[in-house]
Amino acid sequence: MASIHRTTMTPTKLELLTGWLPAQSWYVGSGKTPDLVKAGGFRLDDPEGEVGIEFMIVADTSGQEPVAYLVPLGYRGAALEGVPDEALIGTSEHGVLGTRWIYDGAHDPVVLAQLRLLLSGEAKPQHQSVSDTPDPTVVAHGPGPGQGADVRINRVLRPTESEQGAPGRLVAGWTWPDGTAVRGEMAAVIPQ
């Protein structure tokens, strides 16, 4: 199980995402610099203990209405080989672990492998900010072990009315800046 360190990161995750997010094709902002606040998320464990895995939900409050984004993050102690340059969100100095390379998890093979295991019911979601604590609010409506080879990550999140997810769907919650708690689909298995 991953340990959550109570320390600083310089620059912070929100600072890194503020610069990275507007350059993404799925960003729906107005062209202004995003004004990001943490809105929710969860973690997954890397069985090898090498990669920190966080699914961070941020709300951009720079427009007329806030927009929620899901950004899976892979935290590494060294640069990841074989991924596109745009996969690197940035580097940050961690107060305990030193320099961390922070990648968009959609390009990180360890992050994707653990997401597939979560969707198949073989991995357990962990609380975003408490060590060794499962997060029962994250619900995978899995297709069953071994089914589905790839996943789609929903980058722009929309609340859903129904908690009943179709097979192969991952549902979790976030909180809008006004305090309203909502839930929506985070990811889904792409049928073969």
Task: Render pLDDT for 59-79 as a digit per residue (tens, 0 to 9).
Answer: 999 999 999 999 999 999 999
Residue 132, pLDDT score = 80
Token couple for 80: 């990841």
- Predicted local distance difference test score (pLDDT) of residue 93: 84
Q: Which helix (H) or strand (E) holds 170?
A: strand 169-175
CB-based contacts of 144, cutoff 8 Å, min separation 6: 120, 121
Q: Does 4 reside within a domain? A: no
pLDDT of residue 146: 54
Write down the pLDDT at residue 106.
96
The number of distinct structural domains making up the chain is 1
Containing 118, the helix (H) or strand (E) segment is helix 109-119
Range of the domain at 154: 9-190
Cβ atoms within 10 A of the Cβ of 138, count? 24
Predicted confidence at residue 136, as pLDDT, reads: 93
Answer yes or no: is 1 within a domain.
no
pLDDT at 145: 52
Q: How far apart are CA 5 and CA 180, in angstroms?
A: 28
Q: Is residue 101 part of a domain?
A: yes
* 23 in a structural domain: yes
Phi, psi of 163 (to 5 degrees): -80, -15
Residue 166 confidence (pLDDT) = 67
In a domain, 3, yes or no: no
What does pTM read for this prediction?
0.90
Q: What is the pLDDT of residue 164?
A: 61
Q: Which of the residues in the chain have pLDDT under 50? A: 1
Examine residue 57 and state whether it is found in any structural domain, yes or no.
yes
Beginning with the edge strand found earlier in the chain, give each strand of the sheet holding 150-153 in spatial order.
139-141, 169-175, 181-190, 150-153
Assigned domain for 182 exists: yes
pLDDT value at position 60? 96
